[in-house]
Amino acid sequence: MLKHALRVMQVFRPKLLHCVPLQTLSIRGPLFTSIPVSYFSTTLPKHKKLEMPALSPTMETGNIQKYLKKVGDPITAGDVLCEVETDKATVGFEMQDEGFLAQILVPEGSKGVKVGQLVAVIVPKQSDVASFANYKDSSSQQCSAASKPAAQPQQSSTPQRAQPAATGGAFPKHSKLGLPALSPTMEKGNLMKWLVKEGDRISPGDVICEIETDKATVGFEVQEDGYIAKLMVPAGSKDIKLGTILAISTPKKDNVPSFTNYTLEGAAAAAQTTQAQPPQQQQQQQQTITNETPVQTVSQSGQRIFASPLAKEFAKINNVPLEYVKGTGIDGSIVKKDVERFLSSGSKPEVQQQQQVITPPQQQQTQAPSQEQPAQQTPPPAQAKQQTKPAAASKPVAIEGNPYVDTELTNMRLTIAARLLESKTTIPHYYLTMTVTMDKVLKVREELNKLQKVKISVNDFIIKASALALKDVPQANSQWHGTYIRKFANADISIAVATDAGLITPIVFNAGSKGLGTIASTVKELADKAKANKLKPQEFIGGTFTISNLGMFGIDQFIAVINPPQSAILAVGKTSKRFVPDEHGQPKVESQMDVTLSCDHRVVDGAVGAQWLQRFKYYIEDPNTLLL
Closest CA to 539 of 521, 556, 526: 526
pLDDT band per the 50, 70, 90 thresholds, residue 143 = very low
Model confidence pLDDT, tens digit, residues 570-605: 999 999 999 998 888 889 999 999 999 999 999 999
Residue pair 483/326 in contact by the 8 Å Cβ criterion: yes
| 22 pLDDT higher than 50 | no
Residue 101: what residue type? L
pLDDT in the model for residue 162? 35
Residues in contact with 518: Cβ distance below 8 Å, sequence separation at least 6, in sequence order: none
Residues in contact with 528: Cβ distance below 8 Å, sequence separation at least 6, in sequence order: 534
Q: What secondary structure letter does DSSP report for 205?
A: T
For the chain, which residues make up each domain, given as ranges? 48-126, 175-257, 309-337, 426-627
The model carries a pTM of 0.46
Q: Which CATH class is domain 175-257?
A: mainly beta
Closest CA to 608 of 548, 549, 567: 567
pLDDT in the model for residue 418? 86
As to burial, measured by CB atoms within 10 angstroms (0-12 exposed, 13-18 middle, 19+ buried), residue 341 is: middle
pLDDT in the model for residue 445? 92
pLDDT in the model for residue 58? 67
Model confidence pLDDT, tens digit, residues 487-506: 999 999 999 988 887 888 99
Collapse the DSSP code of 72 into the 3-class scheme (helix H, G, I; strand E, B; otherwise coil) and give the result.
coil
Mean pLDDT over 371-397 rounds to: 43
Average pLDDT over the chain reads 76
Residues in contact with 10: Cβ distance below 8 Å, sequence separation at least 6, in sequence order: none
Choice among 225, 254, 331, 601 that is catalytic: 601
| First-to-last C-alpha distance (Å) of the chain | 92
Residue pair 167/269 in contact by the 8 Å Cβ criterion: no
Q: Is 605 a catalytic residue?
A: yes
How many whole angstroms separate alpha carbon 627 and alpha carbon 207? 40
> What residues pair up with 480 in beta bridges, in sequence order?
485
Answer whether 48-126 and 426-627 agree in fold: no
Model confidence pLDDT, tens digit, residues 403-438: 888 888 877 788 888 888 989 999 999 999 999 999
Q: Is 200 a catalytic residue?
A: no
Task: Give the dihedral sign, CA 509/510/515/516.
Answer: positive
pLDDT in the model for residue 330? 66
pLDDT band per the 50, 70, 90 thresholds, residue 545 = very high
Collapse the DSSP code of 176 into the 3-class scheme (helix H, G, I; strand E, B; otherwise coil) and give the result.
strand
Q: What secondary structure letter does DSSP report for 471?
A: H
Residue 308: half-sphere exposure toward Cβ, Cα within 13 Å: 30
Closest CA to 471 of 304, 621, 305, 619: 619
pLDDT band per the 50, 70, 90 thresholds, residue 86 = confident
> What residues pair up with 581 in beta bridges, in sequence order?
587
How many whole angstroms separate alpha carbon 265 and alpha carbon 413? 35
**CATH of segment(s) 48-126:** 2.40.50.100
Choice among 137, 439, 605, 622 that is catalytic: 605
pLDDT band per the 50, 70, 90 thresholds, residue 381 = very low
Q: What secondary structure letter does DSSP report for 343?
A: I
| 562 pLDDT higher than 50 | yes
Collapse the DSSP code of 25 into the 3-class scheme (helix H, G, I; strand E, B; otherwise coil) and give the result.
strand
pLDDT in the model for residue 325? 84
| 387 pLDDT higher than 80 | no
| 369 pLDDT higher than 80 | no
**CATH of segment(s) 426-627:** 3.30.559.10
Residue pair 613/458 in contact by the 8 Å Cβ criterion: no
Residue 384: what residue type? A
Return the H-helix or E-strand segment holding 539: helix 537-540
Residue pair 50/75 in contact by the 8 Å Cβ criterion: no
Where b means 16+ CB within 10 Å and e means fewer, 52-80 reads: bbbbbbbbeebebeebebebeeebeebbb
